A and B are shown apart, each in its own frame.
Chain A
Amino acid sequence: MVAGTWTAAMPDDPLTRTAYVNARLLDPASGLDASGGIITNGESIVDAGPGIDGTGLPKKTEIIDCGGLCLAPGLVDIRVQIREPGEEHKGTIESAGMSATAGGVTTMVCLPNTMPVIQDMSGVEFVARRARKIGLSKIYPYAAATKDLEGAELTEMGLLAEAGAVAFTDGDKVIKDAQVMRRALTYAKTFGLIVIQRPEEPSLARGGVMNSGEMATRLGLTGIPAVAEIIMVERDLRLVEMTGGRLHFSNISTGEAVRAIGAAKARGFDITCDTAPPYFALNEASVGEYRTFAKLSPPLRSEADRLAVVQGLADGTIDCIASDHAPHDEDSKRLPFGEAAFGGVGLETLLPVSLELYHNGHMKLLDLIAKLTSGPADVMRLGAGQLAKGAPADLSLFDPDQGWQVDADELASKAKNSPFDGRPVQGVVRRTVIDGRTVFVRGA
Chain B
Amino acid sequence: MADATEPSAYSHRHLLGIEGLSPGEITALLDKSNIFVEQNRAADKKLDSMLGRTVINLFFEGSTRTRTSFELAGKRLSADVINMSVSTSSVGKGETLIDTAMTLNAMHPDVLVVRHGQSGAAQLLSEKMNCAVINAGDGSHEHPTQALLDALTMRRRRGDLAGLRIAICGDIAHSRVARSNILLLVTMGAEVRVVAPLTLLPPGIENLGVEVFHEMKAGLSNCDIVMMLRLQNERMDGNYIPSIREYFHFFGLDYDKLSAAKPDALIMHPGPANRGVEIDSVVADDFSRSVIREQVEMGVAVRMACLDILSANLAAETKRNL
User: Interface on A for B, CB 8 Å cutoff?
Assistant: 147, 152-159, 179-180, 183-184, 186-187, 189-191, 243
Contacts and interface: CB of A to CB of B under 8 A. Distances in A.
A179 B249 contact: no
A189 to B, nearest CB: 5
B11 interface: no
A258 to B, nearest CB: 29
Contacts, number: 44
A184 B240 CA distance: 9
A190 B197 contact: yes
Contact of A158 (B238, B239, B250): B250
Given A152-B239, A186-B199, A190-B214, 8 more contacts: A156-B246, A157-B242, A158-B246, A183-B239, A187-B199, A187-B241, A187-B242, A191-B214
Interface string B206-249: 00000000100000000000000000000000111111011001
A191 B214 CA distance: 8
Interface in B185-214: 197-199, 214
Contacts of B246: 156-159
11 contacts: A153-B242, A154-B239, A154-B242, A157-B242, A157-B246, A180-B239, A183-B239, A187-B198, A187-B239, A187-B241, A190-B199
Nearest to A189: B198
A156 B199 contact: no
Contacts of B241: 154, 187
Nearest to B238: A183
Interface size class, chain B:
10 to 19
Given A189-B198, A190-B197, A190-B214, A183 B249 contact: no
The 5 closest A-B pairs by CB, nearest first: A183-B239, A156-B246, A154-B242, A190-B197, A190-B198
Contacts of B242: 147, 153-157, 187
Most buried by A among B197, B198, B238, B241: B198
Which DSSP category, helix, strand, loop or mixed, fits chain A's interface?
A: helix
Contacts of B197: 187, 190
Most buried by A among B199, B240, B250: B199
Contacts of A158: 246, 249-250
A69 B238 CA distance: 56
Contact of B239 (A159, A179, A190, A243): A179
A179 B237 CA distance: 12
Contact of A183 (B199, B214, B243, B245): B199
A218 B305 CA distance: 83
A360 to B, nearest CB: 45
Contacts of A189: 198
A187 B240 CA distance: 7
A157 to B, nearest CB: 7
A155 B241 CA distance: 9
Given A187-B199, A190-B197, A156 B245 contact: yes
Nearest to A162: B249
Contacts of B240: 183, 187
Contacts of A157: 242, 246
A191 B246 CA distance: 12
A310 B240 CA distance: 40
A154 B239 CA distance: 6
A175 to B, nearest CB: 11
A153 B239 contact: yes
Given A154-B239, A180-B239, A190-B214, A159 B199 contact: no
A102 to B, nearest CB: 39
B302 to A, nearest CB: 34
Contacts of A243: 198
Interface in B269-313: none
A157 B246 CA distance: 8
B114 to A, nearest CB: 32
A180 B241 CA distance: 11
